[in-house]
Amino acid sequence: THFGFRDVPVGDKQKLVGQVFTSVARSYDLMNDLMSFGVHRLWKRHFVAISGVRRGDRVLDLAGGTGDIAALLKPVVGADGEVVVGDINAAMLGVGRDRLTDRGLVSGLRWAQLNAEALPFPDNSFDAVTMAFGLRNVTDKDKALADICRVLKPGGRLLVLEFSRVQNELFNKLYDFHSFKVLPKLGRLFAGDADSYQYLAESIRKHPDQQTLKGMMERAGFGKVEVRNLTNGVVAIHRAYKL
Ligand code: SAM
């Protein structure tokens, strides 16, 4: 395709993120189920259900990884629509491509190795951009948000599903315990890699909360930003429009 794999410039955080996802690619899907007790599947379904994506739409699934969101989007856009899975990591894309091929879902899907901070698409290219559990890993989030805005058509929508701030104190304590005590152990046991899962827990805590991310989107040029918490704010969905 004309969105072929290519070299992308990398900084330090990007290098770390690259190592993390290359290291977890093969165990990624299993780990998601274990870490979230399978709930990530419900979050992703809900995310696509409220995305407003329609038949015939051209959608970029950014940080698309192993293709969970793309697999849910493809039946929605149908044969005359298109889903581009964009991710910086070749190992994640490789696992996704194999998995979706096995499920017979490849036709009409494109795979592109790219950096969310510098998208290789012309202005006004997409009806929607989806990003699930990806923004947190991007070094320069403001730059990524501005470039997403650029490639969206006017009136097009950005949907971000990301870990956010838990709203209830008691729940927050349990969640911390799960993240910092249980999660690295699960990582060591099932993926042979405690460090990567420690990174994930830390990156979740550092990520901007609901209102901060909303403000960032507005500064990047988006309007009508709506936020919806799922599971008490463990994750949140931000929906925003290019004005
Ligand atoms: N969207 C998938 C899902 O929900 O299962 C994958 C999410 S995974 C936690 C995060 C993905 O973000 C990884 O595949 C990683 O390679 C990708 N990523 C990290 N930094 C990126 C960047 N700057 N540009 C594009 N993708 C990036």
Rounded to whole angstroms, how far apart are CA atoms 89 and 121? 18
pLDDT tens digits, residue range 127-185? 999 999 999 999 999 999 999 999 999 999 999 999 999 999 999 999 999 998 888 88
With 0-12 / 13-18 / 19 or more C-beta atoms within 10 angstroms meaning exposed / middle / buried, residue 237 is: buried
Domain of 36? 12-167+207-242
Kindly report the CATH number assigned to the domain that includes residue 88.
Answer: 3.40.50.150
**What angle, 0 to 180 degrees and rounded to 10, lies between the N-to-C axes of helices 90-102 and 12-24?**
30
On whether residue 202 sits in a domain, the answer given is: no
- Return the residue whose CA atom lies nearest to atom 14 of ligand 1: 65
Closest CA to 103 of 68, 136, 151: 68
On whether residue 189 sits in a domain, the answer given is: no
On whether residue 200 sits in a domain, the answer given is: no
Token pair in block for residue 13: 């955080």
pLDDT of 2 over the 50 cut: no
Q: Report CA-CA distances (Å) from 101 to 66, 73, 76, 80, 98.
A: 11, 15, 18, 19, 5
Rounded to whole angstroms, how far apart are CA atoms 70 and 108? 10
Calculate Rg over the CA atoms of the chain.
17
What's the ipTM? 0.99
Other Cβ atoms less than 10 A from the Cβ of 8: the count is 15
* Residue 25 Cα to ligand 1 middle (Å): 11
Token pair in block for residue 17: 């993120």
- At 139 the three-state DSSP class reads coil
On whether residue 31 sits in a domain, the answer given is: yes
Instruction: Give the residues surrounding ligand 1 with Cβ less than 6 Å away.
Output: 17, 21, 63-66, 68-69, 87-89, 92, 115-117, 132-134, 137-138
Q: What is the mean pLDDT of residues 214-242?
A: 97
pLDDT tens digits, residue range 73-93? 999 999 999 999 999 999 999
Pocket residue to mutate for ligand 1, from 113, 137, 161, most atoms within 8 A of Cβ? 137
Q: Which residues contact 221 (CB under 8 A, 6 or more apart)?
A: 146, 149, 242, 243
Rounded to whole angstroms, how far apart are CA atoms 229 and 193? 30
On whether residue 183 sits in a domain, the answer given is: no
Rounded to whole angstroms, how far apart are CA atoms 29 and 191? 11
Q: Which residue type sits at 65?
A: G
pLDDT attached to residue 30: 83
Mean pLDDT over the full length of the chain:
90
- Return the residue whose CA atom lies nearest to atom 18 of ligand 1: 63
Q: Which residue type sits at 168?
A: N
What's the structural domain count of the chain? 1
- Return the residue whose CA atom lies nearest to atom 9 of ligand 1: 133
On whether residue 1 sits in a domain, the answer given is: no
Alpha helices by DSSP H, listed for the chain, are 12-24, 28-36, 39-49, 68-77, 90-102, 141-151, 169-177, 183-191, 194-206, 210-219
Q: What is the mean pLDDT of residues 94-120?
A: 87
Atom of ligand 1 nearest to the CA of 115: 24
On whether residue 184 sits in a domain, the answer given is: no
